[in-house]
Structure 1
Amino acid sequence: MEEGKEEEPILCSAFPLGRVRKIVKLDKEIIRVNSEALFLISLSTDLFLHFLTEKSMQVALDKKRKTIKTDHIRIAAKRHPPTADFLLDSLPMPSQPPVRPSSDQTKPSSSHGDEKPLPPGVRRIEQFFHKSAGYGSQIAHA
């Protein structure tokens, strides 16, 4: 080895390149990706996650918590505008403390009267499957 020349650290990807390729190809506009680009995307993702984890950890420590929660990630993203521009829309809304109704106001609002109320942002499976008015008539005429 020559004097004055330091060894460069060997960079290795934390993510499997095959999986990164599949994720990149989910974009319909991308047909092919070369291996160097995949490697750089993987390293960039690793660096970004490391950065976001450090910032979220700092928020958790500021709030005297040992566990990083979604709210900590949201606050860390808000503090870094370039990250906030694209990440805040993807994060779930901040959790809200549950409102406990008084005993006078407890009425079963549907046929699910015996079940516990759903947490915020959660819907029952029946809400996904509504019959449209024209659906049954279209089948009958077919």
Structure 2
Amino acid sequence: MSKAETTTATAETIRPEFPADRVKKIMKLDQDINKVNSEALFLVSCSTDLFLRFLAEISAGIAVQKKRRIVKLDHLRTAVKRHRPTSDFLLDSLPLPTQSLDRPVTEQTRSKPVADKPLPAGARRIDDFFCAPQNKAPTLLNDS
């Protein structure tokens, strides 16, 4: 098999799990990006897939350490805290853990929701990327 055939066979087997149009739309939210090259779109999609797999594996490992069978938000937050590069950009965007039911919620124990915290200049919350556009009319799924 020649090098070109190997490259073609490898490129055909790697398929990102994310919809290309949605990834492209998220990338274009950056005002500095006018056009998105198909190779760049592919790399961002694959990188996102790898990153989410990494977070899932680390979170699952923490759940196993705590003898839990279900990965919860607390496990994800712990995984993000333990990985410094991820913690630097993602920890503030994750929702705060819920309080346990044994302690009553008081004004002193209640913390500010993540959405109310001020953002650094030029920053956006990650959950803004995944919200449905507000200006589009709803579409009907069943036209018959």
Aligned to 1:19: 22
TM-score by length of 1: 0.63
CA distance in 2, matches of 1:95, 1:19: 31
- Matched letter for residue 70 of structure 2: T
Where in structure 2 are the equivalents of 1:103-114 lying within 5 Å? none
Indicate which of 58, 66, 69 corresponds to 1:63: 66
Indicate which of 12, 28, 32 corresponds to 1:29: 32
CA distance in 1, matches of 2:14, 2:97: 36
Whichever of the two has the greater Rg, that structure is 1
Name the SS of the counterpart of 1:89 in structure 2: helix
Instruction: Give the CA deviation at 1:89.
Output: 0.9
Alignment RMSD: 2.4
> Which stretches in structure 1 are left out of the alignment for 5+ residues?
102-119, 122-142
Instruction: Give the CA deviation at 1:100.
Output: 3.8
Q: Quick one: percent identity of the two aligned structures? A: 54
CA distance in 2, matches of 1:68, 1:30: 36
Q: Does 1:53 find its partner at 2:56?
A: yes
Where in structure 2 are the equivalents of 1:69-80 lying within 5 Å? 69-80=72-83
> Which stretches in structure 2 are left out of the alignment for 5+ residues?
106-111, 114-144
Instruction: Give the CA deviation at 1:33.
Output: 1.0
Aligned to 2:85: 82
* Structure with greater proportional helix content: 2
- Matched letter for residue 81 of structure 1: R
Q: How many residues align?
A: 101
CA distance in 2, matches of 1:40, 1:100: 47
